[in-house]
Amino acid sequence: MPRKRPEKALPKELTYTQKENEFDFSILNHPLSTFTEAQKVRACMAYITTGNSIAAAKHCDVPSNVIRCWKSKAGWWLETAQKCREMKSEELDAIMTNVIHSVSNELLDRIANGDIHVDIKSGEVHRAPVAAQKLATIMGIMWDKRNLQRGEFLKEPQANAEEGLKNLMAKFEDFSDKQEEKHKNVVAVSHREN
């Protein structure tokens, strides 16, 4: 029976923490498997994070050929990979939200107190008001992102699009009616000539 490899600590970005009832480990159990359920999850998470089996093998202590075999043949791989993607997505979402809050606070400080400038000659640090063009750009971007988040952009263009389509439909109907009228006149004239 092959010897089990000792479990190595993963880098922070490849860690897996199980929340209560979040993941069913029983699908990973196999009586003949030499790898633990945790090793399988780590291998899957490492593969999802790195994108290839060779790099994943370096992070999870499972040979790359075993990871490739699991990916192509193991019935549990797809469900586990999906759960790993969801967990990474939630983690990235939390990180991005934290960055947004930090940047927002920094922006508020810069708008209220001015940009930080350093005088190259004297090395003196001072604050100067943010330029109007920069303020307008910040305002426009923030306005757009806020409205997009609220779904307000989706409401207005959709109404305009519907109105545009109705106008286009009316024009096509008018055009079609005129073409029909011309066709009737041509047919009537050709019958009179015969």
**DSSP characters for the chain?**
-PPPPPPPPPPGGG---PPTTT--GGGG--TT-SS-HHHHHHHHHHHHHHSSHHHHHHHHSS-HHHHHHHHHH-TTHHHHHHHHHHHHHHHHHHHHHHHHHHHHHHHHHHHHH-EEEE-TTT--EEEEPPPHHHHHHHHHHHHHHHHHHHTHHHHHHHHHHHHHHHHHHHHHHHHHHHHHHHHHHHHHHHHHH-
Q: Using CB atoms within 10 A of its CB, is residue 40 exposed (0-12), middle (13-18) or buried (19+)? A: buried
pLDDT in tens, the chain (194 residues): 454 544 444 444 444 444 544 666 667 777 777 888 888 889 999 999 999 999 999 988 899 999 999 999 888 888 889 988 988 888 888 888 888 888 888 888 888 998 888 999 999 999 988 888 888 888 888 888 888 877 766 555 555 677 778 888 888 788 777 777 766 665 555 555 55
Say what the pLDDT of residue 21 is: 44
Say what the pLDDT of residue 5 is: 47
Say what the pLDDT of residue 156 is: 53
Say what the pLDDT of residue 165 is: 80
Domain limits of the chain?
12-84, 85-152
Say what the pLDDT of residue 14 is: 44
